[in-house]
Structure 1
C-alpha cells in the first residue's frame, strides 16, 4: 500500500487543552479516508494540520514521504472544500473553478480545458456562466468540489462538506463524491460526525475521541468488531451488558429479539414502545450477569404489540453478539 500522508506522534495543544494527542495515522494513496467522531474529538484540527493551516505542537506530518510539518499550505499541493463552500459570489461558476488555476499562473488554454473537464465531471457544464446565488446548495457544493479538483491536488481535503445540505441531498452527494473519487483516483480525506456517511463512503474509517484514535480500519471491520464501548455506541450498538460468564457484550437493536432463542437470554420488563410504521422500537430494563440493571432496545418487526410493564425474555442473537475489549 502506497502512503499519501502520514501523522507520526502528532499533538496539537491550545494552552492547557490538548486537541490532538500523539496520533499515528497512515492515509493510503488513491483511497477515501474519513476522520469520524463527535464535536471536539480532534478530527478538524487534524485536517487543518494536514492542510498546513495549523502547525502541530509536536510530531511530524509527511506528504508522500516528505516531511511537510512546517510547509505552508500553498506549497503542499492540496485541495480543500470547507463546510461553507467559500464561493466568490461576484464570479461565475467557471470563474470560481478557474480561480486556483489563475493563482498558480496556469496558461489560459489549459485553464479553459481544465474548467470544462472538471465541470463536466461534477455535472455542471451547463451552468458555467451562472452565479453561485442562482444555484442550489447541492450545486454550490459541486462547484466547490470542482474548484478544489481543478488544481489537480495531491490530496483532496473535505471538512464536513455535506452538513449544510438537507437529508435527501446529503445522500445524493455521498454517492457523487464517491463516484468522483473513484473516477479520478484522488486521495481524499473527509471529516464528518455522521457515522452513516463514513460507513457508506470510506475505504478507511478513523474514529476519534478526545484527540485520540479509538479505532481505524475498513467500515466493515470497524462496524463488525468495535474496539470498545465508545466505538460501539457511536456506531449504533445501543445494548450493553455483562453476560453470565462475566464478559462485556454488545448487540444492535435489530439483533435483540423478544422471546427465547439461540443466544444470550435475559429476563426483562418492557418500559416503553414506539411504533415507527415498519417496526416497533421496544425499550426494556433487565438485570445482566453482573447484577446490574441495564437498558435494552429491541427493533421488533412482524411481531405482536407489547405493552409497557410486560414481563418477557429477550435474546441477543448469538451470531451477532460482539465482545468488547474495554468498557470505556
Structure 2
C-alpha cells in the first residue's frame, strides 16, 4: 500500500506546553484514517500541521513522498473541511463549490462541469443556485465537502466535521462521508473525539493522548485488543481488575455477567463475589453496579450491562457473583 502522507519525529511545542510529542505516523493512500482522542490530545494540532497552517517545532512531514514540512497550505494540494463549514454567505452553492477551482484558474466550462458532478456526488445538484442560509446544517456540511472535493485534493482533511449536527444527522453524515470516500477513492484524515464515529468510519484508527500515539490499527484490532488502560477506558471497557499474579485485565460491561449464585471460582475466567450498589433500568437492559474485591485484594467497582428480561429481581444490597468467560478478558500492557 502506498503512503499518502507521513509524520517522522514530529513535535509541536508552544512555550512550556508540548501539544504533539515526537510522533511517527503513516497515512495510507485511499483509506480513511481517524485521529481520535480527548480534548488536548494533539489530534487537531497534528491535522493543522499536515494542512500547513502550523509548522512543526521539529520533525518532517512528507506528502506523496515529498518533504512538505515548510510548504505553505495553498501549495500542498489538500482539501479541508472545518467545524464551522466556512461557506461564503453571499455566494450560491455552486459558486462556493467552484471557488477553489476559480482560484486555480480552471476554465469556466470545465469548472461548471466539475461543480455539477461534485454536487451530484453529494446529492445537492438541485440546490446549485441556493444560498447557504437557505440550507440545513446537513446540507451545508455537504456543500463544504463538495468544495473540498472539487479541487481533487491529494488528501481530504476533516476537523470534527459532524460536531455541529444533531445526533440523527451525525449518523446520516457518517454514512455519507464513508460513501463519498469509497466512491472517490480519496485519502481522508478525520479528527474526532467520538469513539463511535471513529469505529464506524475508519479504515485506520489512531488513538492519541497528551500528544502521543497510544495505539494505531484497524477499528476491529484496536477495539478487541486495546494496548493499555487508557485505550480500553476510552473505548468503553469500564471494568478493570488485577489478578492474583498482578496482571491487569479489562472487561466490557456487556460481557460481565451478574448472578445470584455463589461464586464457584475459575482458573480461566473471572469469578468474584460482590454487592449490588445500583440498578439503572434503561428499557431493554439494566446497568448494574457491583462493589467487589478482585484477586489482588483491591476494591473495585464493576458495571454490568445486562438484558432486563429475567433479571428484574436484582436489587441494591443483593450479594451476587460477577463473572466473565476467558474469551471476554482483555489483558492490558499497563
Taking structure 1 as the reference length, what is the TM-score of the superposition? 0.98
Q: Which residue of the partner structure matches residue 273 of structure 2?
A: 267
Deviates more, 1:154-163 or 1:301-310: 301-310
1:279 to 285, 296, 310: 285
Distance in 2, matches of 1:293 and 1:303, equals 28
Q: Which residue of the partner structure matches residue 117 of structure 1?
A: 117
Q: Which residue of the partner structure matches residue 294 of structure 2?
A: 288
Q: Secondary structure at the residue paired with 1:162?
A: coil
For structure 2, which runs of at least 5 residues remain unmatched after alignment? Answer: none
Q: Secondary structure at the residue paired with 1:149?
A: helix
Distance in 2, matches of 1:74 and 1:129, equals 27
Q: Which residue of the partner structure matches residue 303 of structure 1?
A: 310
Distance in 1, matches of 2:214 and 2:24, equals 11
Are residue 172 (structure 1) and residue 172 (structure 2) matched? yes
Give the superposition deviation at 1:290: 1.3
Deviations 1:132-166 (A, max 9, x none): 11100000000000000000000000000000000
Give the superposition deviation at 1:320: 1.2
Deviations 1:9-65 (A, max 9, x none): 000000000000000000000000000000000000000000000000000000011
Q: Which residue of the partner structure matches residue 71 of structure 1?
A: 71
Deviations 1:176-210 (A, max 9, x none): 00000000000000000000000000000000000
Give the superposition deviation at 1:307: 1.0
The equivalences for 1:236-275 within 5 A come to: 236-259=236-259, 263-275=269-281
Give the superposition deviation at 1:246: 2.5
Distance in 2, matches of 1:245 and 1:41, equals 33
Deviates more, 1:36-45 or 1:245-254: 245-254
Are residue 146 (structure 1) and residue 146 (structure 2) matched? yes
Distance in 2, matches of 1:151 and 1:54, equals 22
Taking structure 2 as the reference length, what is the TM-score of the superposition? 0.96
For structure 1, which runs of at least 5 residues remain unmatched after alignment? Answer: none
Give the superposition deviation at 1:219: 0.2
Give the superposition deviation at 1:112: 0.3
Alignment root-mean-square deviation, CA: 0.9
In the alignment, is the contact (CA less than 8 A) between 1:157 and 1:190 conserved in 2? Answer: yes
Q: Which residue of the partner structure matches residue 90 of structure 1?
A: 90
Deviations 1:230-256 (A, max 9, x none): 000000000000123321100100000
Distance in 2, matches of 1:44 and 1:247, equals 34
Deviations 1:212-234 (A, max 9, x none): 00000000000000000000000
Deviates more, 1:35-44 or 1:309-318: 309-318
